[in-house]
Amino acid sequence: MSRFIHQCLRPVSAVLTLGSVAGGACAASASPQEETMPATGQRTDHSAQPSGDAQTQGVQATHVERIHVIGHPFNTMHASNDMGRLPQDVMHTPQTIDVVPRELIKQQNVKSLDEALRNVPGITASVGEGAGGLNGDQFLIRGFPAQNDIYEDGLRDFGVYARDSFNYDSVNVIKGPSSQVFGNGTTGGAINVVTKTPTLTDHYNVDFSGGSADYFRGTVDVNKRINDKTAFRLEGLGASNNVVGRDHVWDHRWGIAPSIAFGLGTKTTVVLQVTHQTDNSVPDFGMPVIKTKWSAYGRPLSEYGVPRHNFFGKQQDHNHTDDTMETLRLKHIFNDHLTFHNDLRFGEYSRNFEASKVVCRAGCIDAINGGNFAKGLVNRTTPGNSVPLPYKQNSWSFQDVASLQADFKTGFLRHQVVTGFDMEYVHDSRHQDVYAEAIPAANLLHPNPYEVTDAQARRVPGGENIKNMPYIAGLGRKPDNHGYGFDTGIFLYDQIWLTKWASIKGGFRWDRWQSGYTITGGPAMTPNEKNRPVPNDDRRFPQTKNTFNPTASLVLTPTTWQTIYFTYASSTTPTGMYVTSGAVPVRPGKNGGSVDNRPQHARLYEVGSKFSFLHDRLGATISLFRLDKDNALTTDPVSNATINTGAQQRNQGMELSLGGLILPGWNITATYALYDPKTSSNNGGAKYNQIQYVPHNQATLWSAYEAFPGKPWNFTIGGGLTWRQGVYLNNDNTAKVPANVDFDTVISHHFGRHWLVSLNGYNLANRLNYNTLFSGYSTPAPGRTFLGRLTMDY
C-alpha cells in the first residue's frame, strides 16, 4: 500500500502540465503536494473562449489548453477559487465548495445569480423580510441567512439588488463558517462570483434572447488585446421582461462592465474593473399566507384556488436600484516562494422603493371559509399600522484586502502560509416617507392596481406626518436612520505537510468590529402604542466588538484522484452586520436603552471526500456536517425590528454532488442535500421545530448530450429538474409552502463555428411553485416559459 501511495504522489510540475490526470492513472498524473510546493488552483475550463483569470492567462496558457483536452469543464474539482486567501483548487481545499461553471451557465441560459444558485444543494433563494420589503438577492446556505455574504472576486458586494449574470465567469459557494477567509458573518457559507476579465486572446460575442412574457435580452462581450501584456474587455447588458403567470409585474435593467488588465503573462498583474447595473422593477409580495378552518397549516392564498396571477399591489409600486463598484486587483509573484495579492474596491449603491405588503384579515378569511371568494378583500399597506413604508436609500462602501502567500520548508516539513489584513467600511442612509391617505383594500379575485389614486398613494415626508409611521418599541416613530460598519481584521493560517499525502491546516482571524445606528427626525414627543407620551429624541446606538475565529483541518490525499478531510471552523456575526440590508439592524434594550448586542456564534464540524476520476472527466463529492448556531436573531414580521431570541439552532446532514462527462459529448451535473434543521432551544418557546425556509431534502439534476459535433446536422439536447421539499415559513412551524418541482430543457444547433441557435424551456409542467418566501407571504414562481436564443461568437 505504501508503495502504491508513493507512486501516486508525484511532483507538482507534472500536475500543472498534465492537469491532475487521475482515475487510477497515477503514473501520468501527480499529487498537488509533492516536490517543493503545493499546487495552487488552476482554471480548467477554457480552450476556445478566453479564461476569466487575467492573472494566470499568460504564464499558464499552455497548461490551460492541455487541461481542457484531458479534463472536462463540468468537473470542477480543479477549478480555482480565484482568491489569494484560498490558493488551492476546489479538490484540495478542506471544505465543501460547489461551483457553477461557465458551460452550465451557457446551457441553462442563466440570467441572474438566483438562477445560477439553483444548481447548488442546500441553498434556498430569495427569502426573508428585511428593509421593510423585498431586499434584493437573499439566500440561505445550509439553513442560515447569507444576505451579507455575497462576494464578487473575493470582495463583499454590499448592494441591495437583484444581480444579473451578464459578466459572470462562474459562481463558487464555499459552505460552512468562513470567517477566517471572509470576516464576520458567513454562518452557512459565502457566495463568490468570479467575473470575466481581460485575456490576451481577441474575442467577440453577441447574444440575444427573446420569448414568453415579452422577454427581450441582449448582451455583448468584447475582449481586445492591446499589446503583449495588456488587454481590454467590455461586457454590456440590456433586458426587459414581464413574468409568466403574474399580472402587472415587470423588470427593466441595463448594465456595463469595462475592465483593463496590465502585465498579463508577467510577474505583476493589475486588473481595473468597473461594474454598473441599473434596475427598474415592480416588487411582488405575492400571496398572503393564511390558515383556514380545513387546513393544518397556513398556506398561500393560491393554494385555496385564488388565481396565481393575481397581483394585490398598486400601480405606484416600484423598485429602482443603481449599483456601481470600482475594483483594483494586484498580484505580484516575488519568486517561487512568495506571492502577494491586494484587492481594493469602492462601491456606491442607491435604492428608491415602494411596495404593497398585503394582509388577508378576518373578513377575507371568513369569505374563503364560506366559499364566497368574490366578497374577500385583501388589505394593502395602510398608514400607521403596517409596513413597508416607501423609502430612499443611499449607501457606499470601501474594502481593501492584502494577503501574502509563502511556500517554504522547515526541515522535512513543507508549509503554505497565508497571512494578511482586511479592512472594510460601509455607510447607509435611509429616509422613510408615509402615505397621505389610507390605501383601499384589493378584491380577492379581481384586484385592480389602478384603483389606488395618486392622492391615496402620495408620499409625504415622515417628519411632516409622523403619526402615520408605525411605532417601533424603544425607537418611537422616526423617518431617518443612518448606519455604519467598520471592520479591521488580520488573518493567518498554515498548512503543513507531515508526509507526502497527509497535512494539517490551522489558523485564525481576529476582527475589531465597530458599528453604529442613528435614528433622527420626528417631533419631540410621540404617543406610544398605549397613547402614553414617551421621549422621541434622536437616538444613537454605537458598539465595538472584538471577535476571534479559529479553524483547523486534517487533509489526506491517499491517491492523486481523492482528497479526504476533516474540518472545524467557526464564525461570529455581531449585531449591526446588515448595515445596508436591514431596516432596524439593532434591538434597543429596555425602554430604548443600550443596544442588545450579543453576537451570534456558529461552529462547523465536517468530514468529507472529493474525487476526480476517469482522467479528470468526472468529479464527485460527499460530505457529512453538523452546524451549530447560538443566540440566533430573527426579524419581527410586523415592525421589521431585529429580535434577539437567544435560540440555539442546529443543522446537520449530508451533501452529494457529481459533475463531468459520462460519455463523449454527454455531460451531467447532479446534487443532493439531506438536512435535519432543528431549533434546539428557544428560551421557553418552540423547541425542536424545523428551522424556517430549510427543506429536509433538496436535489438538482442537469444533463445534456451533444450529437454529431462538427457536422452540419449537429444538435445538443438536454434538460433536468430542480426539487425542493416543502418548507415552513416560520420557526413556530404553523405556516408552510408545498414542494417545488421544476422541469427545464434545452435544444441547440451550431451553424459553423461562430453561430448558435438554441431554445430553453423552464417549468415545463407549469407547476405552481414558490421561489420567493417570507414569514407571511409567498410569491408564485414564473409559469411555463420558453426563450429562444441566438449567439454570435468570434
The position carrying cell 484586502 is 401
Alpha helices per DSSP H over 9-151:
12-18, 61-70, 102-107, 113-116
Residue 317 DSSP SS3: coil
Compare 188 and 101 and report the one with higher pLDDT: 101
Whether residue 298 has pLDDT greater than 80: yes
In terms of C-beta density within 10 A (0-12 exposed, 13-18 middle, 19 or more buried), how is residue 550 classed?
middle
* CA distances from residue 101 to 77, 110, 623 in whole angstroms, order as listed: 11, 11, 20
Q: Are 223 and 233 in contact (CB under 8 A)?
A: yes
Non-local (6+) Cβ contacts of 80 within 8 A are 40, 41, 42, 43, 53, 56, 89, 90
Whether residue 31 has pLDDT greater than 60: no
Query: What average pLDDT does this structure show over 430-444?
Result: 84
pLDDT of residue 591: 47
Distance, CA of 72 to CA of 44 (rounded, Å): 8
* CA distances from residue 678 to 189, 322, 405, 429, 652 in whole angstroms, order as listed: 18, 38, 39, 36, 9
Beta strands in 282-371 (DSSP E): 287-290, 299-300, 318-333, 338-354
Q: Looking at this protein, which amino acid is placed at residue 138?
A: Q
Count other C-beta atoms under 10 Å from residue 721's C-beta: 15
Non-local (6+) Cβ contacts of 752 within 8 A are none
* Residue closest to 237 by CA, chosen among 203, 197, 273, 209: 209
Residue 342 DSSP SS3: strand
Phi, psi of 684 (to 5 degrees): 90, -5
Q: Which of 453-467, 508-522, 673-687 has the highest mean pLDDT?
A: 508-522
Residue 475 DSSP SS3: coil
Q: DSSP of 570-581, one letter per residue? A: EEEE-TT--TTT
Count other C-beta atoms under 10 Å from residue 455's C-beta: 9
Beta strands in 263-313 (DSSP E): 268-281, 287-290, 299-300
Work out whether strand 502-520 and strand 480-497 pair parallel, antiparallel, or are unpaired.
Answer: antiparallel
Whether residue 165 has pLDDT greater than 90: yes
Which range is least confidently modeled, 9-18, 310-319, 530-539, 770-779? 9-18
Task: Output the CA torsion sign for 294, 295, 298, 303.
Answer: negative
pLDDT band for position 516 (50/70/90)?
A: confident
- Sequence length of the chain is 794
For residue 457, the 8-state DSSP code is T
Query: What average pLDDT does this structure show over 347-365?
Result: 87
Query: What average pLDDT does this structure show over 337-353?
Result: 96
The position carrying cell 467575473 is 195
Query: What average pLDDT does this structure show over 576-595?
Result: 61
Whether residue 568 has pLDDT greater than 90: yes
Distance, CA of 395 to CA of 321 (rounded, Å): 11
Whether residue 583 has pLDDT greater than 90: no
The C-alpha angle 242, 247, 249, rounded to 5 degrees, equals 45
Helix (H) or strand (E) holding 258: strand 246-262
Q: Are 328 and 350 in contact (CB under 8 A)?
A: no
Q: Are 774 and 127 in contact (CB under 8 A)?
A: yes
Percent of the chain with pLDDT over 70: 80
The grid coordinates listed for 507 are 489558523
The grid coordinates listed for 274 are 468597473
The grid coordinates listed for 353 are 422603493
Phi, psi of 243 (to 5 degrees): -125, 125
Instruction: Say how many CA atoms lie within 13 Å of 277 toward its Cβ.
Output: 22
Q: Looking at this protein, which amino acid is placed at residue 747?
A: I
pTM assigned to the model: 0.87
* Residue closest to 663 by CA, chosen among 694, 724, 707: 707
Distance, CA of 76 to CA of 744 (rounded, Å): 22
The pLDDT tens digits for 15-24 are: 323 333 333 3
Whether residue 407 has pLDDT greater than 50: yes
Compare 374 and 723 and report the one with higher pLDDT: 723
- Write the secondary structure of 87-102 as one string of H (helix), E (strand) and C (coil): CCCCCCCCCCEEEECH
Which range is least confidently modeled, 449-453, 508-512, 697-701? 449-453
The pLDDT tens digits for 651-663 are: 999 999 999 999 9
Residues linked to residue 219 through DSSP beta bridges, in sequence order: 207, 237
* Residue closest to 311 by CA, chosen among 329, 288, 328, 294: 288
Q: Which of 68-77, 240-249, 361-370 has the highest mean pLDDT?
A: 240-249
Compare 49 and 596 and report the one with higher pLDDT: 596
pLDDT of residue 686: 58
Mean pLDDT of the residues in the chain: 83
Count other C-beta atoms under 10 Å from residue 286's C-beta: 27
Omega before 388 within 30 of 0, i.e. cis: yes
Distance, CA of 757 to CA of 210 (rounded, Å): 12
The pLDDT tens digits for 243-287 are: 999 999 999 999 999 999 999 999 999 999 999 999 999 998 889
Work out whether strand 391-410 and strand 168-175 pair parallel, antiparallel, or are unpaired.
Answer: unpaired
Residues linked to residue 589 through DSSP beta bridges, in sequence order: none
